[in-house]
Structure 1
Amino acid sequence: MIKKFKSIEASQLTITELMLPSHSNFRGKIHGGHILNLMDQIAFACASKHSSNYCVTASVNKVDFLNPIDVGELLTLKASINYTGRTSMVVGLRVESENIRTGETKHCNSSYFTMVAKDDHGKSTPIPGIILTNKDEIRRYARSITRQKEGSHRTSRFSSEAFKTEDYLPLLAKSNAKIEFPK
């Protein structure tokens, strides 16, 4: 029997991994793709732990690489359920690196992964809700709802049926683009 609600703490996860030369580019910085892979893994684990089901990534909301990560640093990823819908959940992620010698830590990025729980037949399946216990948890939950609404508005505004080129020409005039329609 599925629980109706679970605490956020019940599925929170933290992983720490040493960044190796095999994870780096030619300048000794860690590849963003490697970081994204780790983020997807911890989002999967957190969502699966909450839902008690296999989960898939439905979307990733904005990943900004704020600070480079060097070979030899410890990378810590933290994951927590921020929002639950009927079959989906938003996993909030925070990535930090630590210089082992100096102890200096850097916030490298934060992101939000929308994960969907799947049953044994690959169909979306209901999940437990979350229990909100403080102001920050309520803020994160409300922010997830707002982000979803803004995302659907953004998508519909730029659909090919609704988009009006003339509305955006002034915006393009100030950009590094040139419009040349074929004759």
Structure 2
Amino acid sequence: MNLPNKLTVLRVIMIPFFVVFMLFDISGAPDKWIALAIFCVASFTDLLDGKIARKYNLVTNFGKFMDPLADKLLVCTAMICLVSMNKLNVIVVIIIIAREFIISGFRLVASDSGIVIAASYWGKFKTVSQMAMIIVLIADLGDVFAVIGTVLVWVSLILTIISLIDYVAKNKQVLTQGGM
């Protein structure tokens, strides 16, 4: 297993530890900061694994499948934790998770037709905005950060919808050729 794939697996392994520190009172006040650190490190591995894989030509089928799945698991898990802590509206999370299921299904149909749907810039912007939103909401520094958190929730939601429309519009042939 190459380094990018190990980083992807590490990201998945970090998720339960993140959940424990987010939802359970392990060490009191430091819990949120430990959870935040875990989330930041896990998010950084997302950036790092892709850069390493492309730079050193270490792209694998495992990585193509697991990297986006690991990202979705990390981000969706964090958002669900934030909902349970009343820091994020459940409707926002439902829309974001629904988009992830739709795009995953869309990619699956496309792959059956031999079409590879690469990540778009809108999708990358969406992921970065969601990760930034999660970081700000976990940090919960109040005042100006509360406003920044609210803005990031809306930006994430808007980019989620735009990226969905972008994927479908650019790959509408999948709907006609993919047997749908």
For Structure 1 versus Structure 2, the TM-score category normalised by the shorter chain is under 0.3
When Rg is computed on C-alpha atoms for both structures, the one with the higher figure is: 1
Greater share of strand residues, 1 or 2? 1
